[in-house]
């Protein structure tokens, strides 16, 4: 793999150790959406873990899979069961997957003791036990006692110091899976060594969640495009009226400082020039298209308009690297989805390495039907942002270094 493969990955991976015949605990991120009939509605996170799972099966390991799903508050809650995921995984692997309703204790130990090389078992939602999020030593030890080797392939949970991502690494040799390596390779690669011109597109609700990315990319990026709700804090900070659009008052000063610093660094900074505004977010709400200077009280900007789409698309034309995190508007509602989908298409059309991160943005790219034309779509929202902010993720820091 090239610069965006393993280059920035200093940890041992599952390939570097002997797992033949061993009980291997693989922490995966199967935090997938379920509908009211408990059917998996989007299995991309499950499919992303298949290379590691298949490798472990082919090597003759006894494969113990564990994940969280949703926020069950430390106790069993059937709404968040991973049983439907076991069924979907079984279909994707074309192989029997056992499911254990117990996460720890004699029954799961007995089931694992009966496993043969290549067998697969999925444990129930780790967050049914309060020890998971508390990173409790006792729960970490219990999990570790099920296996001989620990593999972390749960990139989406790597920014959390939980029992199954950090605590367990004290008790088993900890290595990375292929998805984790790929995610870090792309996201760290783009921050440390981007092919320029490098364009960052940020959107979504809040400036506060993404300002760290702008600070970290200050010296590396050539153009910054800001859309979505977060644009209006920047626009207000420049002295314009934004009506009832989303503004974070405590971020006004910092937003203005970052914008002027970027411009001092010769980074081109783009904000929406027109917007779709509405009185409310209701389905039947009256909407109109206005220039950004024309937003008045009583109106909220909920999408970027066509002139902004044109401006942003043109800014992407000579890009060699593009990262995109956060939608351009309230794309969950048809009336405010056009800007996001148009930018998804523009990113997909860019003749560049394109990296999309964040739960909402990958959904938008998928809905726009252009997922296949994006170079890399991250499976982790919070985790991908933290890497773009230049932070170290606890779940990765806890793994064994290559040279150790």
Query: In the complex, what is the shortest distance from the CB of residue 361 to ligand AMP, in angstroms, rounded to a whole number?
Result: 7
Cα–Cα dist 227/277, whole Å: 14
Binding segment (CB under 6 A) for ligand AMP, from list 28-36, 202-210, 282-290, 388-396: 202-210
From 23, 27, 45, 400, the catalytic residue: 45
Query: In the complex, what is the shortest distance from the CB of residue 326 to ligand AMP, in angstroms, rounded to a whole number?
Result: 4
Backbone CA torsion sign across 94, 43, 67, 125: negative
Phi and psi dihedrals of 70, rounded to 5?
65, -155
Interaction of residue 311 with ligand AMP, rule CB under 6 A:
no
- Out of 277, 302, 323, 344, the only residue in the binding site for ligand AMP (CB under 6 A) is 302
Interaction of residue 395 with ligand AMP, rule CB under 6 A:
no
Query: In the complex, what is the shortest distance from the CB of residue 193 to ligand AMP, in angstroms, rounded to a whole number?
Result: 26
Residue of 220, 225, 288, 285 whose CA lies nearest to 259: 225
Q: Contact 357/323 with Cβ under 8 angstroms?
A: yes
The smaller minimum CB distance to ligand AMP, of residues 123 and 246, is found at 246
Q: Is 170 a catalytic residue?
A: no
Interaction of residue 329 with ligand AMP, rule CB under 6 A:
yes
Residue-wise DSSP of 185-232:
HHHHHHHHSPPSSEEEEE-SS-STTTHHHHHHHTTT-SEEEE-STTHH
All residues at 6 or more sequence positions from 153 whose CB lies less than 8 Å from its CB, including other chains = 26, 27, 28, 29, 49, 52, 176, 177, 178, 179, 180
- HEC string of 119-171? CEEEECCHHHCHHHHHCCHHHHHHHHCCCCEEEECCHHHCCCCCCCCCHHHHC
From 206, 220, 268, 310, the catalytic residue: 206
For ligand AMP, how many residues bind (rule: CB under 6 A)? Answer: 16
Q: Is 2 a catalytic residue?
A: no
The smaller minimum CB distance to ligand AMP, of residues 194 and 329, is found at 329
Q: Is 381 a catalytic residue?
A: no
Structure tokens at 103: 């996460």
Query: In the complex, what is the shortest distance from the CB of residue 245 to ligand AMP, in angstroms, rounded to a whole number?
Result: 6
The smaller minimum CB distance to ligand AMP, of residues 149 and 217, is found at 217
Residues designated catalytic: 45, 206, 359, 382
Which residues are near ligand AMP by CB under 6 A? 204-206, 209, 228-229, 246, 301-302, 326-327, 329-330, 332, 358, 360
């Amino acid at each position: 793999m090239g610069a965006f493969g393993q280059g920035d990955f200093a940890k041992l991976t599952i390939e570097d150790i002997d797992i033949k015949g061993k009980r291997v605990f693989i922490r995966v991120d199967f935090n997938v959406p379920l509908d009211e009939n408990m059917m998996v509605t989007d299995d991309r996170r499950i499919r992303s873990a298949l290379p590691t799972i298949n490798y472990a099966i082919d090597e003759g390991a006894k494969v113990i899979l564990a994940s969280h799903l949703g926020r069950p508050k430390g106790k069993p809650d059937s709404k968040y069961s991973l049983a439907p995921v076991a069924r979907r995984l079984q279909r994707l692997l074309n192989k029997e997957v056992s499911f254990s309703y117990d996460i720890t204790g004699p029954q799961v130990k007995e089931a694992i003791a009966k496993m043969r090389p290549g067998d697969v078992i999925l444990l129930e939602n780790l967050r049914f036990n309060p020890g998971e999020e508390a990173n409790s030593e006792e729960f970490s030890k219990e999990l570790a006692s099920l296996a001989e080797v620990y593999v972390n392939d749960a990139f989406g949970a790597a920014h959390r110091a939980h029992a199954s991502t950090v605590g367990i690494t004290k008790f088993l040799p900890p290595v990375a899976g292929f998805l984790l390596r790929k995610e870090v390779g792309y996201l760290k690669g783009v921050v440390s060594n981007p092919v320029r011109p490098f364009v960052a597109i940020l959107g979504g609700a809040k400036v506060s969640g993404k300002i760290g990315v702008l600070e970290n990319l200050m010296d590396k990026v050539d153009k910054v495009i800001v859309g979505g709700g977060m644009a209006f804090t920047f626009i207000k900070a420049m002295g314009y009226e934004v009506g009832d659009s989303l503004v974070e008052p405590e971020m006004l000063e910092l937003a203005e400082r970052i914008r002027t610093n970027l411009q001092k660094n010769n980074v081109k900074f783009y904000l929406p020039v027109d917007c779709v505004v509405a009185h409310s977010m209701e389905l039947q709400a009256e909407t109109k298209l206005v220039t950004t200077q024309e937003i008045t009280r009583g109106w909220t900007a909920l999408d970027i308009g066509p002139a902004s789409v044109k401006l942003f698309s043109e800014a992407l034309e000579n890009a060699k690297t593009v990262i995109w995190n956060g939608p351009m508007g309230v794309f969950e509602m048809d009336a405010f989805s056009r800007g996001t989908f148009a930018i998804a298409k523009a990113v997909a059309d860019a003749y560049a390495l394109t990296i999309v991160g964040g739960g909402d943005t990958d959904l938008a790219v998928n809905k726009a039907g252009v997922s296949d034309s994006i170079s890399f779509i991250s499976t982790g929202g919070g985790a991908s942002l933290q890497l773009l902010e230049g932070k170290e993720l606890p779940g990765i820091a806890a793994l064994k270094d290559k040279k150790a």
